[in-house]
Structure 1
Amino acid sequence: MDRWLRVAKPWALVALAGPALWLWGLALADRLGANPAEALIRGLGDWTLRLLCLTLAVSPLRRIMGWTALAGWRRGLGLWTCGYALLHLVAYAWLDQGWAAHALLADVVERPFILVGLLAVLLLLPLAATSFDAAIRWLGAGRWRRLHRVVYAVAGLAILHFFWVRSGKQLYGDVIVYATVLAALLGWRVWDAVSRARGRVPAATGR
């Protein structure tokens, strides 16, 4: 499995551009329904959540299944998560607000879910910027790990943002699915941290 994971990684990471290209293509062709701007914004947001779940699943799967090569996937998945979050923000700022700074500011102030989503994106930026080996050496492993625990806050803010978006139409099914998956992944991390503190398992690096 490790050999297959190493071979598949570059192809899989390149393929992750596909959903964004597909959504933007459908939007430009006016094939996203009656409200293509909303469909594009929400589609990019959905992919951000999916990729966040995949990124957080790397460490549990690596530990539980013994797939050590999965560690090499974490950086790419994390960068794609940030990339889709930025595309989600760009689509909203462009197609929903027309790049009008005053309208953006008013929306952030008036609608809490916009503020929460913006905070999640802003917190992802330093994680993406410090995901490289040079940043780990510069910060030191301990400080780097502490910084990247911010991903827990990102996950919480992302779910809260998603809940508020869906609550407008009382669509909670997918919110429950994502919240359950993220709660399980974060719960595993709490268990792992407690276990390491008690000296039962070796320390793991990364997010």
Structure 2
Amino acid sequence: MDQSVSAPGVASRRKRPSKLQDNLVYGLVWLACFAPLVWLAWKGFNGDLGANPIEKLIRQLGVWGLRLLLVGLAITPAARILKAPRLLRFRRTVGLFAFSYIVLHLFSYVGVDLFFDFGQLWKDILKRPFITLGMGAFVLLIPLAVTSTNGWVVRMGRAAWQRLHWLIYLIVPLGVTHYYLLVKADHRPPVIYAALFVVLMGWRVWDRLARRA
């Protein structure tokens, strides 16, 4: 017999984390997500962003946005494997931080690199494939950020809300391809991110098949 269910009331007697503990964990998640921005600001302040600091800043903001999108996708398998469903609470926070980094990435490119020359931006979108893919990923990410609240889940219905948020499975590979086409020499980081995405999607397929079986 499964020992986890042999003693009635064991689950009910488990002590839930206190409000203070919950707030502490949320604070640590926020600090972890916010830390890369502080690190980039510190390096910029100290002139430690390399020979082309603007390019370095723009790229790193985008890379951290992509990393956090992958972290968000990893939370569900981590919660299942570790049998820690409370981890799922952090998907929204991580996702919104990812969106924030990507907004800063785009704003830095348009504002700092192009000086808000939207005509040039439009030309880049049409002529440079990596920018076309990056803008496509950003546009698809907007409805996910807008509908991230519980109120939108209620208004749309959970099934429709979940279908909309499946766009993340298209957004991440678009982001990875954008990054791959952007870099000119070392393609290892985007290849690693692509491999992580494949692993995470493979786990989802395996998990769904196992549940059906």
TM band (smaller chain): 0.7 to 0.9
Q: 12-21 or 58-67, which moves further after superposition?
A: 12-21
Q: 13-22 or 111-120, which moves further after superposition?
A: 13-22
1:18 shift after superposition: 2.2
Structure 2 matches for 1:22-101, cutoff 5 A? Answer: 22-101=39-118
Distance 2:26 2:71 in 1: 13
Distance 2:200 2:116 in 1: 36
Contact 1:3 1:69 in 2 (8 A): no
- The structure showing larger relative contact order (alpha-carbon pairs under 8 Å, at least 6 residues apart) is 1
AA at the equivalent of 1:175: P
- Aligned residue in 1 for 2:4: none
Contact 1:79 1:128 in 2 (8 A): yes
Specify which of 20, 25, 30 is matched with residue 13 of structure 1: 30
1:52 shift after superposition: 0.9
1:30 shift after superposition: 3.4
1:123 shift after superposition: 1.1
Distance 2:102 2:36 in 1: 13
1:157 shift after superposition: 0.2
User: Any idea what SS the aligned residue of 1:32 has?
Assistant: coil
Structure 2 matches for 1:145-164, cutoff 5 A? Answer: 145-164=162-181
What is the Cα-based RMSD across aligned positions, in Å?
Answer: 1.9
4+ runs deviating over 6 angstroms:
none
Specify which of 186, 192, 195 is matched with residue 207 of structure 2: 192
Q: 182-191 or 60-69, which moves further after superposition?
A: 182-191
Structure 2 portions without partners, runs of 5+? 1-15
Q: What CA deviation, in whole Å up to 9, does each residue of 1:84-113 have, x standing for no partner? A: 111111111112211101111111111010
Q: What CA deviation, in whole Å up to 9, does each residue of 1:103-147 have, x standing for no partner? A: 111111110100101111111111111111100000001001100
Q: What CA deviation, in whole Å up to 9, does each residue of 1:145-176 have, x standing for no partner? A: 1000000000110111011012x22x121122
1:25 shift after superposition: 4.1
Distance 2:54 2:74 in 1: 31
Distance 1:190 1:38 in 2: 38
Specify which of 129, 140, 164 is matched with residue 146 of structure 2: 129
The structure number with the bigger radius of gyration is: 2
**TM-score with structure 1 length normalisation?**
0.87
Contact 2:177 2:190 in 1 (8 A): no
Aligned residue pair count: 195
Specify which of 163, 187, 209 is matched with residue 172 of structure 1: 187
Identity of aligned residues (%): 36
